């Protein structure tokens, strides 16, 4: 015999616990999706549905708060690094030290503003999950488009090749590398924002729609592969150009960890493919949380810790046993290993 619902009002913790005991997760999800005025619902199901709906809202609210916590932590860290580099800029005794400090201030300040915007987006409960994810990624790509200009310039400033053409694999000037970095972000933005992660390539009945699939390939996968190609060119060039630098493991990590970004993007795309038709393209909540966490950690390292490394050198301190002294090539340039 089925136990009666608890005396507590629908939507309370007791009501939700009752719902979890009497119904499995799949049945609860189906109840949530049914209209509240469905005449076929029994009184017991209505109570369970009401409790589950409130519990789902509370769960989504907790998830939003977790995401806000993550992005605010990253934003505050990046802002503090920008402030530290501002002090380092005025403390620096030479132009050679001031240039990377100035670049660090710009990179970290713009990144901190971007995380402040994402926190506001996550806090907006009126946004749907799809719109919140789209708006957050639009903010991300806008920030990356700006900061990569200064971040790429900073990396090549530390490499400091003389002559610059020596040991070059692809780029003959810093400006060419900067343009490639901008193209990398722009192509990635087209794949993410132009096609909404290439999920909409099927008809309502689950069959492939040729026109939609072609658009996803032309404006999604092709730009994504183009963006990945630009990244590979940059990483190979930066790695080869910095090969004779002493104690450069930490320095190289500031650009080699860029590989985290396309990896997370691919995971997000993959998470929406089997669910695209059933959820009308709505991204899983876990995918949004993964993005906030992984992109945040990557930004904190490649921009924030990179900025700490720069400021520490001005104050005469090392970071993880490494110093940020720009490497000057001997003349003539050394042969390839």
Quickly tell me which residue has 């020596």 as its tokens.
Answer: 166
pLDDT of residue 179 exceeding 50: yes
Do residues 135 and 12 both lie within one domain?
no
Domain of 310, CATH number, reads 1.20.1070.10
Binned at pLDDT 50, 70 and 90, residue 155 comes out as: very high
Number of domain units in the chain? 2
Classify residue 11 as left (phi > 0), alpha (psi -120 to 50) or beta.
Answer: left
User: CA nearest 247: which of 314, 158, 166?
Assistant: 158
pLDDT of residue 172 exceeding 50: yes
Binned at pLDDT 50, 70 and 90, residue 165 comes out as: very low
Do residues 139 and 69 both lie within one domain?
yes
Do residues 133 and 100 both lie within one domain?
yes
Per residue in 268-306, pLDDT tens?
Answer: 887 776 544 444 556 677 778 888 899 999 999 999 999
d(CA 144, CA 113): 12
Binned at pLDDT 50, 70 and 90, residue 254 comes out as: very high
Answer yes or no: is 278 within a domain: yes
List the beta bridge partners of residue 244: none
The pLDDT assigned to 328 comes to 45
Answer yes or no: is 50 within a domain: no
Do residues 168 and 26 both lie within one domain?
no
Do residues 170 and 273 both lie within one domain?
yes
Mean pLDDT in residue range 250-263:
93
Task: Tell me which residue range forms the domain holding 25.
Answer: 1-40
Answer yes or no: is 55 within a domain: no
Do residues 64 and 34 both lie within one domain?
no
The pLDDT assigned to 185 comes to 95
At 144 the three-state DSSP class reads helix
The pLDDT assigned to 52 comes to 62
Answer yes or no: is 337 within a domain: no
Give yes or no for a contact between 50 and 12, defined as CB atoms under 8 angstroms apart: no
pLDDT of residue 163 exceeding 80: no
Task: Say how many residues make up the chain.
Answer: 337
pLDDT of residue 191 exceeding 50: yes
- Name the helix (H) or strand (E) containing 7: none
Do residues 165 and 244 both lie within one domain?
yes
d(CA 2, CA 167): 77
pLDDT of residue 318 exceeding 50: yes
Average pLDDT, the chain: 77
d(CA 141, CA 125): 23
The pLDDT assigned to 59 comes to 64
**Between 174 and 109, whose confidence is greater?**
109
Answer yes or no: is 34 within a domain: yes
Return the structure tokens found at 33: 């999706």
The pLDDT assigned to 229 comes to 95
Do residues 102 and 150 both lie within one domain?
yes
Do residues 30 and 86 both lie within one domain?
no
Do residues 133 and 198 both lie within one domain?
yes
Give yes or no for a contact between 170 and 233, defined as CB atoms under 8 angstroms apart: yes
Do residues 6 and 126 both lie within one domain?
no
Q: Which of 172-176, 188-192, 294-298 has the lowest mean pLDDT?
A: 172-176
**Between 247 and 238, whose confidence is greater?**
238
pLDDT of residue 232 exceeding 50: yes
User: CA nearest 159: which of 66, 245, 263?
Assistant: 245
The pLDDT assigned to 193 comes to 80
Answer yes or no: is 53 within a domain: no
Cis bond before residue 51 (omega within 30° of 0): no
pLDDT of residue 240 exceeding 70: yes
d(CA 34, CA 57): 16
d(CA 71, CA 297): 10
List the beta bridge partners of residue 202: 208
Binned at pLDDT 50, 70 and 90, residue 162 comes out as: very low
What pTM does this model have? Answer: 0.75
Answer yes or no: is 333 within a domain: no
Phi, psi for residue 322 in degrees, rounded to 5: -120, 145
d(CA 179, CA 147): 12
**Between 242 and 282, whose confidence is greater?**
242
Mean pLDDT in residue range 40-61:
64
Do residues 261 and 174 both lie within one domain?
yes
Binned at pLDDT 50, 70 and 90, residue 62 comes out as: confident
d(CA 273, CA 172): 41
User: CA nearest 155: which of 303, 308, 316, 333?
Assistant: 303
Answer yes or no: is 74 within a domain: yes
Per residue in 107-126, pLDDT tens?
Answer: 999 999 999 999 998 888 78
What beta strand segments (E) does the chain contain? Answer: none
Q: What is the largest CA-CA distance in the chain?
A: 90
pLDDT of residue 21 exceeding 50: no
**Between 54 and 85, whose confidence is greater?**
85
> 10 Å Cβ neighbour count for 168?
16
The pLDDT assigned to 29 comes to 56
Report how far apart the first and last C-alpha atoms of the chain are (Å, whole number): 79
């Amino acid at each position: 015999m089925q136990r009666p619902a608890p005396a507590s009002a629908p939507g309370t913790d007791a009501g939700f616990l009752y719902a979890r005991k009497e119904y499995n997760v799949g049945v609860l999800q189906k109840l949530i999706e049914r209209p509240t005025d469905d005449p076929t619902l029994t009184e017991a199901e209505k109570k369970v549905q009401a409790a589950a709906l409130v519990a789902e809202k509370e769960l989504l609210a907790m998830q939003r708060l977790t995401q806000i916590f993550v992005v605010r932590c990253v934003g505050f860290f990046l802002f503090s690094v920008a402030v530290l580099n501002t002090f380092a800029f005025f403390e620096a005794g030479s132009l050679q030290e001031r240039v990377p400090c100035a670049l660090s201030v710009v990179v970290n300040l713009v990144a901190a503003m971007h995380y402040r915007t994402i926190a506001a987006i996550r806090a907006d409960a009126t946004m749907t999950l799809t719109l919140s994810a789209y708006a957050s990624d639009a903010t991300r790509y806008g920030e990356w488009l700006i900061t990569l200009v200064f971040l790429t310039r900073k990396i090549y400033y530390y490499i400091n090749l003389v002559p610059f053409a020596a040991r070059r694999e692809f780029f003959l000037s810093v400006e060419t590398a900067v343009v490639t970095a901008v193209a990398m972000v722009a192509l990635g933005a087209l794949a993410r924002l132009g096609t909404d992660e290439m999920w909409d390539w099927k008809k309502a009945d689950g069959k492939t729609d040729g026109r939609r699939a072609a658009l996803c390939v032309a404006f999604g996968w092709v730009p994504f592969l183009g963006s990945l190609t630009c990244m590979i060119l940059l990483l190979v060039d930066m790695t080869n150009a910095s090969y004779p630098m002493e104690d450069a493991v930490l320095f190289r990590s500031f650009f080699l960890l860029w590989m985290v970004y396309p990896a997370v993007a691919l995971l997000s795309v993959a998470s929406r493919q089997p669910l695209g038709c059933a959820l009308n393209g709505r991204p899983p909540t876990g995918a949004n949380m993964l993005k906030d966490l992984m992109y945040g950690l990557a930004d904190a390292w490649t921009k924030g810790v990179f900025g700490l490394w720069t400021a520490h050198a001005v104050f005469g301190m090392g970071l993880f046993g490494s110093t940020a002294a720009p490497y000057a090539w001997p003349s003539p340039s050394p042969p390839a290993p």
